[in-house]
């Protein structure tokens, strides 16, 4: 049913729940593939750069945010890839999703950004409004 699934993740609790739903859907068709997209925005990049001084540590820090998701994907035995992009999360996810013709986009209802949590995760809201494929928002 859904062969090409985009999973937007920031490593948050909601993103981990979203990964579980994406995995469940991918397991329904052995030809399915999950593309995990992690967005490095300007605020995250600046914060990381002030605390981490070399690119190897910076890369490792970002991988740690996706560690649980990647472990779940491996354990489930689903086909996946991880894509790291830079930009504003909402528009970057939308552009990537629309440029790559996914069958479904799965995203958590809230992320790690405390300011954006005030509203229905503003990133998930932007994605739901602008992505051309169906969107599943996971609570």
Give me the residue spans of the domains in the chain.
Answer: 4-138
Cα angle 43, 46, 49 (rounded to 5 degrees) comes to 145
What's the average pLDDT block by block, 10 residues per block, for the chain (139 residues)?
95 94 97 96 59 56 84 97 94 98 94 50 89 96
Per-residue model confidence (pLDDT) at position 55:
58
Per-residue model confidence (pLDDT) at position 110:
78
Q: With CA atoms as reference, report the closest residue to 21 among 135, 130, 98.
A: 135
For the domain spanning 4-138, the CATH number is 3.40.50.620
Per-residue model confidence (pLDDT) at position 58:
52
């Amino acid at each position: 049913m859904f062969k090409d699934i985009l999973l937007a993740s920031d490593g948050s609790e909601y993103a981990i729940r979203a990964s579980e739903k994406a995995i469940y859907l991918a397991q329904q068709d052995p030809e399915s593939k999950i593309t995990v997209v992690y967005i490095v925005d300007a605020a995250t990049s600046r914060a990381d750069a002030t605390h981490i001084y070399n690119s190897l540590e910076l890369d490792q820090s970002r991988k740690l945010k996706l560690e649980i998701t990647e472990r779940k994907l491996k354990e489930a035995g689903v086909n996946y890839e991880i894509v790291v992009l830079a930009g504003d999360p909402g528009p970057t996810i939308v552009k990537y999703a629309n440029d790559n013709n996914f069958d479904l986009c799965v995203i958590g209802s809230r992320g790690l950004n405390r300011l954006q949590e005030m509203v229905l995760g503003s990133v998930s809201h932007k994605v739901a409004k602008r992505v051309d494929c169906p969107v599943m928002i996971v609570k």
